[in-house]
């Protein structure tokens, strides 16, 4: 009759897949070589993330590490499966069969967690860079629109022209940062497709935390440590006794692994809670800035009408235009801050 430990190690989906040769093998994705183009290619948020993940050398290295570990684990499990239960007479024999197999399985989970951590990091970096480019593009358009409204201003040299030049410089820098993440030439231009997260439906904090506890790579790694420690408890109990020094060590290692998981869960839960609060605050700021922009536009249009009737001065128009432009810029910045808050919250749940 097979022991409970034997079933614990060799009945998992991962082990079955590895032993049958059906384990996922992440093939090396060739780095994309940007072709010379004369037209401007469209760039959506999803495509930007996809390109960055495909072209990341660091992520590809971690994929290869995972592949190697999966192959090595498959070899180890086949070797350990050949050790007959009847041939195990001592605790040392049991360790060779069960602990080494369990360790190989744990290493797969650890490497996968490392790869997913890098993937999450890249996604967040690209999304932030994308929204920065989008925000600066919107600010440039708002500045140009404001300059068109300032028909009384000196077109040769104004503060608005200086501001526009500064925005265009910032845009080029942001675009270069995004292109670097995409493994593209720094000066490559795109037709950026607008991404709008302002209608994002925010789940409850409890739902987000539950998702993070399930999907965060740190939690998967912590659970793998617990499973590995449990294997040592199981074979020690079967081939020696938990009251021995070996048994005490095994129990302490298991308790330590559980405490590490609790510590990780507490930290993740707080991180999600903090990011959740930032999204709520950003949404409030977004609603307020949108309302102020709408009110400023109404006042400006009313002042134009009054000016045509001779009931408002050019100075009144100038003041209300400046107020309108300020509110438009702040609304754009609020959208950017909200988008960043949402993607940061998503990243903290493990995507």
- Please check the confidence at residue 100 and state whether its pLDDT lies above 90: yes
CA atoms within a 13 Å half-sphere pointing along the CA-CB vector of 217: 16
pLDDT of residue 17: 53
- Please check the confidence at residue 35 and state whether its pLDDT lies above 80: no
pLDDT of residue 51: 96
pLDDT of residue 25: 37
pLDDT of residue 20: 52
- Give the H/E segment covering residue 191: strand 190-192
- Please check the confidence at residue 92 and state whether its pLDDT lies above 80: yes
Distance of CA 323 to the CA centre of its chain: 37
- Mean pLDDT estimate for the chain: 89
pLDDT of residue 23: 42
- Please check the confidence at residue 10 and state whether its pLDDT lies above 60: no
CA 335 → CA 33, 70, 141, 288, 323, distances in Å? 34, 43, 15, 11, 18
- Please check the confidence at residue 48 and state whether its pLDDT lies above 90: yes
Query: Mean per-residue pLDDT for 180-185?
Result: 95
pLDDT of residue 351: 79
Query: Mean per-residue pLDDT for 135-160?
Result: 86
- Please check the confidence at residue 36 and state whether its pLDDT lies above 70: no
Percent of the chain with pLDDT over 70: 87
CA 158 → CA 146, 305, 340, distances in Å? 12, 26, 32
CA 26 → CA 64, 76, 222, distances in Å? 7, 20, 23
191: β partners: 42
pLDDT of residue 171: 97
Residues of the chain by 3-state class (helix, strand, coil), percent to 5: 75, 0, 20
pLDDT of residue 33: 39
- Please check the confidence at residue 122 and state whether its pLDDT lies above 60: yes
Q: Which of 278, 156, 263 is nearest to 213 (CA)?
A: 263
Tell me the pTM.
0.85
CA 257/CA 263 separation, integer angstroms? 10
pLDDT bracket for residue 263 (50, 70, 90): very high
CA 332/CA 149 separation, integer angstroms? 19
Q: What is the pLDDT of residues 57-69, one digit of tens each?
A: 999 999 999 999 9
- Please check the confidence at residue 31 and state whether its pLDDT lies above 60: no
Q: What is the pLDDT of residues 192-235, one digit of tens each?
A: 999 989 888 899 999 999 999 999 999 999 999 999 999 999 99
pLDDT bracket for residue 83 (50, 70, 90): very high
Pairing mode, strands 41-43 and 190-192: parallel
Q: What is the pLDDT of residues 292-305, one digit of tens each?
A: 999 999 999 999 99
Percent of the chain with pLDDT over 90: 82
255-259: which pairs have CB atoms within 8 A and are 24 or more residues apart? 256/229, 257/222, 257/225, 257/226, 257/228, 257/229, 258/226
The phi and psi torsions of 190 (rounded to 5 degrees) equal -135, 155
pLDDT of residue 246: 95
Q: Which of 227, 9, 23 is nearest to 112 (CA)?
A: 23
The larger pLDDT score, comparing residue 169 to residue 26, is at 169
Domain 4-24+42-146+171-190+200-348 has CATH 3.40.50.300: no
- Please check the confidence at residue 84 and state whether its pLDDT lies above 50: yes
pLDDT of residue 200: 83
pLDDT bracket for residue 150 (50, 70, 90): confident
Q: Which of 162, 32, 15 is nearest to 102 (CA)?
A: 15
- Please check the confidence at residue 154 and state whether its pLDDT lies above 90: no
pLDDT of residue 37: 46
């Amino acid at each position: 009759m097979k022991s409970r430990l034997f079933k614990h190690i060799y009945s998992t989906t991962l082990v079955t897949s590895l032993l049958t040769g059906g384990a996922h093998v992440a093939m090396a994705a060739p780095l994309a070589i940007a072709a010379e183009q004369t037209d401007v290619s469209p760039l959506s948020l999803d495509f930007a993330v996809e390109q960055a993940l495909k072209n990341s050398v660091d992520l590809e290295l971690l994929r290869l590490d995972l592949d190697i570990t999966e192959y090595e684990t498959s070899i180890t499990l086949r070797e350990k499966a050949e050790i007959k239960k009847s041939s195990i007479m001592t605790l040392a024999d049991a360790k060779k069969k069960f602990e080494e197999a369990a360790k190989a399985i744990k290493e797969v989970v650890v490497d996968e967690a490392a790869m997913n951590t890098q993937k999450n990091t890249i996604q967040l970096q690209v999304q932030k860079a994308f929204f920065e480019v989008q925000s600066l593009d919107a600010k440039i358009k708002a500045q140009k629109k404001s300059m068109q409204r300032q028909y009384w201003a000196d077109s040769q040299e104004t503060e608005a022209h200086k501001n526009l030049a500064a925005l265009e410089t910032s845009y080029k820098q942001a675009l270069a940062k995004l292109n670097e993440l995409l493994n593209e030439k720094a000066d490559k231009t795109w037709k950026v497709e607008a991404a709008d997260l302002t209608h994002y439906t925010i789940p409850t904090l409890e739902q987000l935390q539950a998702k993070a506890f399930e999907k965060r790579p740190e939690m998967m790694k912590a659970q793998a440590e617990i499973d590995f420690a449990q294997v040592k408890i199981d074979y020690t109990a079967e081939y020696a006794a938990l009251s021995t020094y070996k048994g005490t060590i095994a129990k302490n290692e298991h308790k330590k692994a559980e405490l590490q998981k609790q510590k990780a869960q507490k930290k993740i839960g707080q991180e999600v809670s903090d990011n959740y609060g930032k999204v709520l605050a950003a949404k409030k700021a977004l609603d307020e800035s949108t309302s102020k922009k709408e009110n400023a536009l109404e006042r400006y249009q009313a002042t134009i009408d009054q000016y045509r009737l001779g009931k408002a001065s050019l100075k009144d128009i100038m003041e209300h235009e400046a107020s309108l432009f300020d509110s438009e810029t702040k609304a754009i910045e609020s959208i950017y801050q909200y988008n960043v808050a949402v993607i940061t919250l998503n990243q903290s749940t493990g995507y």
